[in-house]
């Protein structure tokens, strides 16, 4: 048995191993149940010498609907190419792995004993050792350069300062009444109502071997009243230790009542001793500054910065700040791509960054001196990336596989897959082949899209079509994997799939992205119309008479919009969490900067901007059967939008259904709910355009 087969046997579920000896596997299409049950791989980290690799493996118990994450380790220099072995014991659910500075242990977070705390386990395995026992949950951590201290994030209250007991009491005390009085906006965000707490940064000394867990920590940047990391999706990639360990730099937006209207995140320098005031390093830039990374000598701070205040989809440029003088320069000002992260090369001369580029998400290498950007690792979508010693590690996903962990890939080094692909885990699944195509869209400019063949494709046959419309609107349905909107789940039902990266999509230059703002209903609509026509011309297997349009978020907005202004091609529509009344969206959404940028001001200062492309104004022309899906905890696009659209459909006598989730947010995340979502959508498609696995 070769090394690749050893790896597959080590990581594949036991039930699948029983089928591997069979040389003739029955072919079938990919199903939502496959997607929900699949193991997921993430968070690869390297030991300082690059020899050991640790990654996270998430498994789901479909009976309970609960997911558990374990850590796995591999010696990359072992001569026998031994496969990864499990590092954390059974019964532990863990996250956020990081190697100790000497490479002898792996740190991680776990709520094994009630609250989320920091643990360590030797690389040789054994029982985890608890390192912290704070009164607050540890939500994220970052080790100091010397490995003796840890900076960690915890939810706390500004008026309690660094007093953890005070903070714990505030969380635990439950008032007799349920009413809450607010005196400013941002009363809720994403899926959570404000409780007055902030994400704050503490620093603690790690205990010596054999000592009791740390219970005391110092609040740093106590005068900085802000969420660090930001809510709801921020992490400690927005925190950097200085090489001497005396300070931290964090990205933060002040909690001052301006948050719903502001994208002004600045970089603040904080003393790790908790003394002194926070120093704003980027006060001159009123837009977003993020992702600080120190040079090895501590003299330069690299980071990413936007330029336009209030625009969340502006281009992130790569910046270098001389910390002695405060002078800032942009490293690659002519490179029209938005940097997603910063990883420095070992010699400090190159920044590696993944970016969206022409429907994929490759890794680029940017020369710091010249700003020249060159592709470094291509194919699909690159996620995590790290360098240690002679080793590089990264994750990649594509339209045919969730994230895999790879080593190699730089400077011609061969890539080696450490974890299995979706095809390895599901050897009996036949995937829908896909390809990118292009056409002339709005303003006679080139627009790209993807077409996916059904799993059971045969030359000369025609297939019903799922026409998927991406959200954002500054987003992309590119060569990547999704656990929510995955084109292979439609191809697995016997449908062809068409996806258009209309004007407003990311990865085609900032001017292309900018084109959608204040033009939600015309330029992208023209691209969708021309893309639909072009796809049918180029791909004879598309049955344009049996097609359904589906979209979520902005894609849901577009479904409501085309229901009134372009409903001729569609036999059915599916709308998930879409904007039905753009005017009310401008008042009810939590991140007001989004609606105000996209519509050219507030609803009261520029009502015409909100009404020009407002789907609610065209309900009189609705005629196509529609499935509406919305969730109660969606505060981005509140549930009333979906209920109102369903009411309109019912009052007009249009065939319609409403799928409601009381416990989901803007996304559907729970395994059982995801299955219900897909079952309901697939049944709707079968009813109106036929198809299904053959």
Residues 165-174: pLDDT tens digits?
999 999 999 8
**Percent above pLDDT 70 for the chain:** 96
Query: Is there a contact between 206 and 216 (Cβ–Cβ < 8 Å)?
Result: no
CA distance 641 to 48: 51
Residue 320 has pLDDT above 90, yes or no: yes
Alpha helices in 421-506 (DSSP H): 422-425, 487-491
Q: What is the number of alpha carbons within 13 Å of residue 318 lying toward its C-beta?
A: 31
Using alpha carbons, select from 599, 569, 565, 564 the residue that is nearest to residue 473. Answer: 599
pLDDT, position 174: 86
Residue 365 has pLDDT above 90, yes or no: yes
CA distance 501 to 504: 8
CA distance 222 to 328: 27
Using alpha carbons, select from 246, 245, 239 the residue that is nearest to residue 265. Answer: 239
pLDDT, position 691: 81
Whole-number Cα distances in Å, 121 to 47, 74, 105, 422, 561:
13, 15, 5, 30, 54
Using alpha carbons, select from 386, 520, 276, 537 the residue that is nearest to residue 50. Answer: 386
Q: Per-residue pLDDT averaged across 210-216, rounded?
A: 96
271 class by beta-carbon count within 10 Å (0-12 exposed, 13-18 middle, 19+ buried): middle
Cα-flanking dihedrals φ and ψ of residue 231, to 5°? -95, 150
Full set of structural domains in the chain with CATH: 434-689 (3.40.50.1820)
Q: What is the largest CA-CA distance in the chain?
A: 73
Q: In what order do the strands lie in the sheet with 40-46?
A: 40-46, 52-61, 66-75, 85-86
Residue 15 has pLDDT above 60, yes or no: no
Cβ-defined contacts of 510-518 (< 8 Å, 24+): 510/314, 510/315, 510/336, 510/338, 511/336, 512/445, 513/313, 513/315, 513/474, 515/442, 516/473, 516/474, 516/598, 517/311, 517/597, 517/598, 518/598, 518/599, 518/600, 518/609
Alpha helices in 82-227 (DSSP H): 164-172
Q: Per-residue pLDDT averaged across 192-202, rounded?
A: 97
pLDDT, position 293: 98
Task: Cis check for the bond before 338: say yes or no (omega within 30 of 0).
Answer: no
Contacts for 20 with CB less than 8 Å, ≥ 6 apart = 8, 9, 12, 427
Query: Is there a contact between 537 and 440 (Cβ–Cβ < 8 Å)?
Result: no
CA distance 452 to 599: 33
Using alpha carbons, select from 195, 244, 245 the residue that is nearest to residue 220. Answer: 245
Instruction: Considering only CA atoms, give the Rg of the chain.
Output: 26
Residue 225 has pLDDT above 80, yes or no: yes
CA distance 626 to 307: 40
Alpha helices in 12-150 (DSSP H): 14-17, 32-37
pLDDT confidence tier of residue 11, bands split at 50, 70 and 90: low
Whole-number Cα distances in Å, 409 to 285, 355, 385, 390:
36, 17, 11, 12
Task: Note the pLDDT tens digit of each residue in 231-274.
Answer: 999 999 999 999 999 999 999 999 999 999 999 999 999 999 99
Contacts for 677 with CB less than 8 Å, ≥ 6 apart = 32, 629, 659, 668
Task: Note the pLDDT tens digit of each residue in 327-364.
Answer: 999 999 999 999 999 999 999 999 999 999 999 999 99
Whole-number Cα distances in Å, 585 to 559, 592, 642, 644:
16, 9, 12, 12
Q: Per-residue pLDDT averaged across 362-376, rounded?
A: 98
Using alpha carbons, select from 427, 423, 546 the residue that is nearest to residue 494. Answer: 546
Using the Cα atoms of residue 131, residue 137, residue 142 and residue 146 in order, give the sign of their dihedral.
Answer: negative
* Beta-bridge partners for 119: 108, 130
DSSP per-residue codes, 147-171: SSEEEEEEEEEGGGTT-HHHHHHHH
CA distance 536 to 562: 19
pLDDT, position 692: 58
Residue 79 has pLDDT above 90, yes or no: no
Residue 16 has pLDDT above 80, yes or no: no
Using alpha carbons, select from 42, 107, 174, 101 the residue that is nearest to residue 388. Answer: 101
Using alpha carbons, select from 299, 290, 344 the residue that is nearest to residue 317. Answer: 290
Q: Could you give the 3-state DSSP secondary structure of residue 453? A: coil
Using alpha carbons, select from 485, 498, 391 the residue that is nearest to residue 439. Answer: 498
**Percent above pLDDT 90 for the chain:** 94
E strand segments, 246-400: 247-252, 266-271, 279-280, 289-294, 300-305, 317-322, 328-330, 343-344, 350-354, 363-367, 373-377, 381-388, 391-398
Task: Note the pLDDT tens digit of each residue in 262-314.
Answer: 999 999 999 999 999 999 999 999 999 999 999 999 999 999 999 999 999 99
Whole-number Cα distances in Å, 201 to 196, 248, 268, 293:
16, 10, 12, 17
Task: Note the pLDDT tens digit of each residue in 97-108.
Answer: 999 999 999 999
More confident residue, 606 or 8: 606
pLDDT, position 5: 36
Average pLDDT in the chain: 95
pLDDT, position 65: 87
Query: Is there a contact between 301 and 292 (Cβ–Cβ < 8 Å)?
Result: yes
CA distance 567 to 325: 59
CA distance 23 to 30: 20
Q: At what angle do helices 523-538 and 554-565 cross, to 10 degrees?
A: 80
Angle, CA 545 vertex, CA 541 and CA 548 arms, to 5°: 95
User: What's the N-to-C CA distance of the chain in angstroms?
Assistant: 36
Task: Note the pLDDT tens digit of each residue in 450-462.
Answer: 999 999 999 999 9
């Amino acid at each position: 048995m070769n090394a690749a087969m050893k790896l597959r046997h080590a990581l594949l579920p036991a039930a699948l191993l029983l089928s591997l000896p069979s040389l003739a596997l029955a072919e079938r299409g990919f199903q939502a149940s496959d997607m929900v049950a699949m193991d997921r791989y993430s968070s690869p980290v390297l030991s300082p010498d690059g020899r050991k690799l640790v990654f996270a493996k998430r498994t789901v118990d479909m009976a309970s609907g609960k997911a558990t994450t374990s850590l796995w380790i591999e010696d990359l220099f072992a001569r026998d190419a031994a496969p990864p072995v499990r590092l954390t014991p059974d019964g532990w659910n863990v996250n956020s792995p990081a190697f100790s500075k000497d490479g002898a242990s792996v740190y991680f977070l776990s709520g094994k004993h009630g609250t989320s705390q920091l643990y360590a386990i030797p690389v040789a395995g054994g029982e985890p050792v608890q390192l912290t026992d704070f009164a607050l949950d540890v939500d994220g951590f970052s080790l100091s350069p010397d490995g003796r201290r840890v900076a960690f994030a915890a939810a706390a209250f500004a008026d309690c300062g660094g007093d953890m007991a005070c903070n714990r009491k505030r969380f635990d005390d439950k008032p007799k009444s349920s009413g809450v009085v607010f005196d400013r906006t941002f009363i809720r965000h994403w899926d959570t109502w404000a409780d007055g707490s902030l994400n704050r940064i503490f620093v603690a000394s790690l205990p010596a071997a054999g000592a009791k867990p740390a219970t005391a920590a110092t609040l740093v940047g106590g005068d900085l009243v802000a969420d660090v990391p930001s809510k709801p999706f921020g992490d400690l990639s927005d925190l950097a230790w200085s090489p001497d360990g005396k300070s931290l730099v964090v990205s933060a937006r002040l909690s001052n009542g301006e948050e719903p209207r502001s994208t002004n995140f600045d970089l603040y320098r904080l003393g790790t001793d908790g003394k002194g005031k926070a120093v704003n390093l980027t006060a001159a830039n009123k837009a977003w500054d993020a992702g600080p990374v120190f040079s090895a000598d501590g003299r330069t701070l690299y980071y990413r910065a936007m330029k336009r205040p209030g625009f969340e989809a502006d281009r992130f440029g790569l910046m270098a700040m001389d910390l002695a003088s405060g002078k800032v320069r942009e490293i690659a000002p002519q490179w029209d791509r938005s940097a997603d992260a910063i990883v420095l090369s070992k010699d400090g001369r190159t920044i590696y960054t993944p970016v969206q580029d022409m429907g994929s998400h490759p890794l680029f290498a940017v020369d710091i001196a010249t700003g020249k950007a060159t592709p470094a690792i291509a194919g699909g979508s690159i996620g995590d990336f790290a360098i240690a010693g002679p080793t590089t590690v990264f994750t990649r996903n594509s339209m045919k596989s969730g994230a895999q962990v790879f080593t190699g890939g730089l400077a011609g080094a061969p890539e080696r897959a450490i974890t299995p692909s979706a095809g390895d885990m599901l050897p009996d699944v036949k995937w829908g082949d896909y390809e990118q195509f292009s056409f002339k869209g709005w303003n006679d400019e080139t627009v790209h899209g993807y077409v996916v063949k059904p799993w059971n494709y045969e030359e000369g046959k025609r297939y019903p079509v799922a026409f998927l419309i991406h959200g954002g609107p500054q987003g992309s349905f590119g060569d990547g994997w999704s656990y929510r909107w995955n084109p292979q789940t439609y191809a697995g039902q016997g449908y062809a799939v068409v996806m258009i990266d209309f004007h407003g999509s990311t990865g085609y230059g900032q001017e292309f992205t900018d084109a959608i703002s204040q033009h939600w209903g015309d330029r992208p609509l023209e691209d969708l119309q021309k893309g639909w026509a072009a796809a049918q011309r180029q791909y004879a297997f598309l049955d344009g008479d049996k097609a359904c349009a589906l979209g979520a978020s902005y894609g849901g907005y577009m479904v409501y919009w085309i229901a009134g202004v372009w409903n001729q091609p569609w036999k059915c529509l599916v709308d998930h969490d879409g904007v039905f009344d753009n005017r009310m969206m401008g008042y009810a959404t939590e991140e007001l900067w989004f609606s105000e940028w996209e519509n050219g001001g507030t609803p009261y200062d520029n009502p015409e901007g909100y009404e020009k492309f407002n789907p609610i104004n065209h309900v009189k022309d609705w005629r196509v059967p529609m499935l509406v899906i919305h969730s109660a905890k969606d505060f981005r696009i509140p549930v009333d939008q979906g209920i109102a659209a369903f009411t309109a459909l019912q009052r007009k006598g249009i065939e319609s259904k409403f799928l409601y989730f009381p416990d989901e947010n803007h996304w559907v995340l729970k395994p059982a709910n995801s299955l219900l979502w897909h079952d309901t959508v697939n049944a709707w498609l079968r009813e109106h355009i036929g198809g299904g696995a053959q």
